[in-house]
């Protein structure tokens, strides 16, 4: 039985080609700046993103935190979405470790932040207030792509208030593939950009933070302070370089598989999914509340994994195929056939 794990795009295993690249990587002590593979990865990412410099870090959480700390000092504030990973899913690190106050704003249904609300959240220069220093956006956010025109407007607004602009681009390349624009253009309005190599790109570890030379020099200091200075990290950076070369264009397959899965699921009585909302590699489905745990167990018996929540998020990736999506949808359909009461609960709901 082939496992089909749709909990996240972080669950992928390195491919044989990636492992081979890791096996032959040239390494050195990266804290001394002497790991040639890490240096190459940093140079490649800086060039791809059109930024002066970049720094390899352990995780996306560390990358965002270092980015925020490189923009903001103690008592500064950053404006961020309520649903943003940096705000909601990183343990409050900016506040806990950076003494940076978040100013969260509700995300609009398309993942953006209303520019009026952003403008209203910028504090005047007055001792009563934290100093607003930064606007942080996320792309993709909840599988949705921020429109380029919106990003340009948001960045212009931020600059008009003297704010820096950070992008949590954990899934930047999913946005790039969907937009069919050069990545440089997609990130041109940002002062700093964090990219995960360990999500859809399929590397086992690692993120990269890119920006100006000054910003990356500050980031290098914070990385050490936060315990993120690694030694022969080239073994892992080689996986990142391999991923950037071989795994970007294929993200389109993940997006197609997500759309296909959504269409199959939408046809199943008991399941609510809107295929039209699928933009990249995420599908969101709701099932009657009481059916969730039973469905999860049913799928687990068949080697299929999902994360439960009020809305079930399923993520496609390198390790699942079109056939897997069909098999998964068939298993969900079989569940509702075997549990007609769950379906009628949906009907009663609607």
The contact set with ligand PLP (CB under 6 A) reads: 59-61, 64, 85, 138, 168, 170, 196, 198-199, 207
Q: Which residue is nearest to ligand PLP (CB)?
A: 60
CB of 274 to ligand PLP, least distance (A): 22
Residue closest to 151 by CA, chosen among 191, 119, 190: 190
C-alpha torsion sign, points 54, 170, 201, 149: negative
Instruction: Quote the CA–CA distance of 258 and 279 in Å, as a whole number.
Output: 9
88 or 296, CB closer to ligand PLP?
Answer: 88
Cβ-based neighbour number of residue 160 at 10 Å: 10
**Residue 224 CB burial class (10 angstroms; 0-12, 13-18, ≥19):** exposed
Q: Which is nearer to ligand PLP, 203 or 273 (CB)?
A: 203
The number of residues making up the chain comes to 350
Give the C-alpha separation, 200 to 196, whole Å.
8
> Residue 85 or residue 144: which is nearer to ligand PLP going by CB?
85
Give least dist CB 79 to ligand PLP, A: 17
Q: 67: which residues sit within 8 A by CB, 6+ positions away?
A: 166, 192, 194, 209, 211, 219
CB of 90 to ligand PLP, least distance (A): 7
Q: Choose between 46 and 65: whose C-beta lies nearer to ligand PLP.
A: 65
Report the residue number, 87 or 328, with the smaller CB distance to ligand PLP.
Answer: 87
Shortest gap between Cβ of 173 and ligand PLP (angstroms)?
A: 12
CB of 280 to ligand PLP, least distance (A): 12
């Amino acid at each position: 039985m082939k496992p089909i794990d749709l909990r996240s795009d972080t669950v992928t295993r390195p491919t044989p080609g990636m492992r081979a690249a890791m096996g032959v990587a040239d390494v050195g002590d990266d804290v001394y700046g002497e790991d040639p593979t890490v240096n190459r990865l940093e140079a490649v990412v800086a060039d791809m993103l059109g930024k002066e410099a970049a720094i390899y870090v352990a995780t996306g959480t560390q990358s965002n935190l270092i980015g925020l700390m490189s923009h903001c000092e103690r008592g500064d504030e950053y404006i961020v979405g309520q649903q943003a990973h940096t705000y909601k899913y990183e343990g409050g690190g900016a506040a806990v470790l950076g003494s940076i106050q978040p100013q969260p704003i509700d995300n609009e249904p398309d993942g953006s932040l209303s520019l009026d609300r952003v403008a209203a959240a910028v504090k005047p220069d007055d001792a009563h207030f934290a100093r607003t220093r930064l606007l942080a956006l996320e792309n993709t956010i909840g599988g949705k792509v921020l429109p380029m025109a919106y990003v340009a407007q948001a960045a212009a607004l931020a600059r008009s208030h003297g704010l820096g602009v950070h992008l949590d681009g954990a899934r930047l390349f999913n946005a790039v593939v969907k937009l069919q624009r050069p990545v440089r253009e997609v990130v041109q309005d940002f002062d700093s950009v964090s990219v995960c190599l360990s999500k859809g790109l399929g590397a086992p570890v690692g993120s990269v933070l890119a920006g100006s030379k000054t910003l990356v020099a500050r980031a290098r200091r914070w990385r050490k302070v936060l315990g993120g200075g690694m030694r022969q990290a080239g073994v892992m950076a080689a996986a990142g370089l391999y991923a950037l070369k071989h795994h970007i264009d294929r993200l389109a397959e993940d997006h197609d598989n997500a759309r296909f899965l959504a269409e199959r699921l939408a046809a199943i009585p008991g399941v609510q999914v809107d295929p039209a909302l699928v933009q990249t590699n995420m599908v969101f489905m709701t099932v009657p509340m009481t059916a969730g745990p039973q469905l999860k167990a049913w799928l687990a018996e068949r080697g299929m994994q999902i994360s439960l929540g009020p809305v079930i998020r399923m993520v496609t990736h390198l390790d699942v195929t079109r056939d897997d999506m069909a098999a998964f949808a068939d298993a969900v359909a079989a569940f509702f056939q075997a549990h007609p009461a769950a379906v009628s609960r949906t009907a009663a709901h609607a």
